[in-house]
Amino acid sequence: MTGSEPIPASRQPAWSALVDQARQAASTTLTGRFAADPARGERMVAEACGIYLDYSKNLMGEDTLGLLVALANQSGLRQRIDAMFAGEKINVSEGRAVLHVALRAPRSASIVVDGADVVPEVHSVLDRMAQFTDAVRSGAWRGHTGEPLTNVVNIGIGGSDLGPAMAYEALKAYSDRGRVFRFVSNVDGAELTEATRDLDPARTLFVVCSKSWHTEETLTNANSAREWLVAGLGGDDRAVARHFVAVSTNAEGVGAFGIDTANMFGFWDWVGGRYSYDSAVGLTLMLAIGVDQFDQMLAGLHAIDEHFRTAPFEANLPVLLGLLSVWYNDFLGAQTQAVLPYSRYLWRLPAYLQQLEMESNGKRVDLAGRPVDYPTAPIIWGQPGTNGQHAFYQLLHQGTRLVPADLIGFWNPVEAQGHSHDLDHHHDLLTANMFAQAEALAFGRDASTLSGRGIPNWQVPHRVCPGNRPTTSILLDRLTPESLGKLIALYEHKVFTEGALWGIDSFDQWGVELGKILADDIEPELECPSEDRLGHDSSTNALIRRYRRARPQ
């Protein structure tokens, strides 16, 4: 190890103090903490940029938070934030800058990478996206046969799907309801079939998103979509030019596929796929919600960027979330983290956050390539409340595992459209459930509160809820393009904070390579009718042979 290599997080002075804190935490309950400090629920909150964060129902005291902040300082979080915003190549294993914050920087800003200011480039692509969006939405851009394009199918996978799909679902109430928007990611042919089966090719636009333009699933789906389109429009290949646009960093690949690069919207290698939904990868979203609302979303993202960059760690919302995560993950032994949005519109958020967190921080070596001796990313999972309450919350209340949960809600509902009745009371009920769950999880129900209710003694243990189950409540005013932007930036920087403390590269994803390489080897073997020699392990060989026998030749 050379002198310039970072000190592992577990050797920082605050780490061992936190290990001691964790031992003490085991002897204190949330009930005890709130009894000893009745104002805890008003004090252990942070509010900024219209986000209210209540972290009082976590298994920690303010002293623990102080130590976590010390760990952040010792781990160089401040320097790492400054390095990201300055365009330094903090993605060390790929030698790249990490500048999703530049995607929402105002025109007046300047961020220099390799001697060039990237902000004008960002705005030039946003301007082209805006022109295209206006042309499609106004009907000025028409299909090959002169029809307006009222159906939009996004083809992409991973970051080229989850972000725009999540945001489209989140902002559906703000979208053009006269158009159909679909998302195709899985290479399973069922997905393209279902997405196109009732669409008129003459009115359908495909937005093919792939940062690399090498992703097999996306290129396979895009090829099949092209065949579907051309066949549906009388076999004329020239139709592709009006019905296909590309979002990529790879102009050569896009051209080779047959999409005119004039219809390509670019982005840059300093935008990670999972951090890209507000780049040109958001074109389908912009087509859905229009230019102004897309801009409002960018403003929301930027507001949190500035907060993250400047606020002291104790009052910094993404930092607080990141520190809580490190606390549970590394000191209290939690293996998973639930994300429970009390909003139907946020139903894709847990899936989006799975990639954001697990592809970013699912790493086993530090920046210097040394194996880490502490757990990194938790497993992220979740579903919207109240549906989850009638499914897996049982485990949260009475199971044997520690599962910290983020509960996300809104003070006000999205204005209902197309419904003749006032549904405001639904929002009260929804929010009552969110608050009630946090309360029940924290304080539970002990045997004494069950006595005198005619409950047989033998049943009492089954009905006891031990409580002491941690939640963080996150509330915003209303789900809008701007508040969605804030929420997403909150989690992006939470993930950054964790990665900085763990001393890992949150911006590469080498682990996904191996499976892709093996799939490339196996695909021709599946299609080969002969009993060719197979060079895999005996299990994989047997699966391949069985598949060959099961498939009609």
Distance from C-alpha of 417 to C-alpha of 394, rounded to nearest angstrom: 34
Give residue for tokens 């599946």: 526
Minimum Å gap between C-beta 255 and ligand F6P is 16
Minimum Å gap between C-beta 541 and ligand F6P is 26
Minimum Å gap between C-beta 249 and ligand F6P is 8
Minimum Å gap between C-beta 251 and ligand F6P is 14
Closer of 273 and 388 to ligand F6P (Cβ): 273
Burial of 425 (0-12, 13-18, 19+ CB in 10 A): exposed
Distance from C-alpha of 58 to C-alpha of 64, rounded to nearest angstrom: 11
User: Does the annotation count 359 as an active-site position?
Assistant: yes
Query: Minimal CA–CA distance to 470: which of 45, 23, 54?
Result: 54
Distance from C-alpha of 95 to C-alpha of 315, rounded to nearest angstrom: 32
Which of the following is catalytic: 169, 359, 492, 498?
359
Minimum Å gap between C-beta 537 and ligand F6P is 24
Which of the following is catalytic: 390, 419, 421, 425?
390
Strand 116-117, strand 51-54: pairing? unpaired
Closer of 359 and 505 to ligand F6P (Cβ): 359
Q: Are 251 and 260 in contact (CB under 8 A)?
A: no
Torsion of CA 531, 533, 536, 541, to 10 degrees: 20
Minimum Å gap between C-beta 103 and ligand F6P is 15
Segment holding 307, helix H or strand E: helix 291-310
Closer of 69 and 195 to ligand F6P (Cβ): 195
Distance from C-alpha of 479 to C-alpha of 27, rounded to nearest angstrom: 39
CA distances from residue 468 to 129, 233, 321, 408, 443 in whole angstroms, order as listed:
49, 62, 19, 19, 6
* Sheet strand arrangement including 264-266: 180-184, 151-155, 204-209, 244-248, 264-266
Q: Are 552 and 529 in contact (CB under 8 A)?
A: no
Which of the following is catalytic: 5, 47, 516, 523?
516
User: Does the annotation count 516 as an active-site position?
Assistant: yes
Minimum Å gap between C-beta 139 and ligand F6P is 30
Query: Minimal CA–CA distance to 429: which of 387, 386, 370?
Result: 386
Closer of 215 and 361 to ligand F6P (Cβ): 215
Minimum Å gap between C-beta 92 and ligand F6P is 17
String of DSSP letters for 98-154: --GGGGG--TT---EETTEE-HHHHHHHHHHHHHHHHHHHHT-SB-TTS-B--EEEE
String of DSSP letters for 188-221: SHHHHHHHHTT--GGGEEEEEE-SSS--HHHHHH
Q: Which residues bind ligand F6P (CB under 6 A)?
A: 157-160, 210-212, 215, 218, 273-274, 359, 509, 512
Closer of 159 and 404 to ligand F6P (Cβ): 159
Burial of 388 (0-12, 13-18, 19+ CB in 10 A): buried
Distance from C-alpha of 67 to C-alpha of 14, rounded to nearest angstrom: 6
Distance from C-alpha of 157 to C-alpha of 154, rounded to nearest angstrom: 10
Closer of 79 and 212 to ligand F6P (Cβ): 212
Closer of 54 and 161 to ligand F6P (Cβ): 161
Helix, coil or strand: residue 313: helix
Closer of 154 and 473 to ligand F6P (Cβ): 154
Distance from C-alpha of 67 to C-alpha of 74, rounded to nearest angstrom: 10
Closer of 159 and 322 to ligand F6P (Cβ): 159
Minimum Å gap between C-beta 495 and ligand F6P is 14
Query: For residue 9, which amino acid is it?
Result: A
Q: Which residues are catalytic?
A: 359, 390, 516
